[in-house]
């Protein structure tokens, strides 16, 4: 699979998985999930899905891993061009968490500067 095909599949998987998780999943522990990115392996057998949770990351990630069979079967309904649906691997997106934290720190620094100038 060439790079363009792989990126198109990743974009499609990203949209489909977001839709499945946010609209079709009824598990109470899987709420307020933001699907950040999807990375397909070169051979198309594995798909890493990077997610972000509002709260209780450990419990939510565990619940998401418990329903990945359901998500994969629903994904098969969307992906007509593929002979097989890749194995799903859910991971917490550490980059987004770090950038949000840096943004909070910068806002705090800016507000401290404004207070000291007044």
Residue 116 lies in a domain: no
* From 15-19, 47-51, 113-117, the region with the lowest mean pLDDT: 113-117
Residue 61 lies in a domain: yes
What is the model's pLDDT at position 54?
81
Provide mean pLDDT across the span 107-117: 84
Spatial contact of 20 and 90, defined as CB atoms under 8 Å apart: no
DSSP string, 4-15: HHHHHHHHHHHH
pLDDT digits (tens, 9 = 90+) for 78-100: 876 777 889 999 999 888 778 87
What is the model's pLDDT at position 37?
92
Residue 29 lies in a domain: yes
Instruction: Please give the model's pTM, rounded to 2 decimal places.
Output: 0.78
What is the model's pLDDT at position 32?
82
Residue 112 lies in a domain: no
114 has pLDDT over 90: no
- Can you give the CATH number for the domain in which 45 is found? 3.30.300.20
What is the rounded average pLDDT for all residues in the chain? Answer: 87
């Amino acid at each position: 699979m060439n790079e363009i095909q792989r990126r198109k599949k990743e974009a499609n998987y990203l949209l489909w998985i977001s839709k499945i998780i946010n609209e079709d999943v009824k598990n109470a522990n899987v709420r307020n999930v933001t699907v950040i990115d999807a990375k397909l392996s070169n051979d198309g057998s594995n798909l890493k899905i990077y997610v972000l949770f509002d709260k209780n990351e450990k419990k939510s990630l565990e619940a998401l891993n418990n329903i990945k069979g359901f998500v994969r079967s629903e994904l098969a309904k969307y992906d007509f061009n593929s002979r097989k649906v890749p194995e799903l691997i859910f991971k917490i997106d550490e980059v987004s968490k770090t950038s949000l934290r840096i943004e909070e720190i910068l806002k705090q620094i800016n507000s401290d500067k404004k207070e000291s100038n007044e």
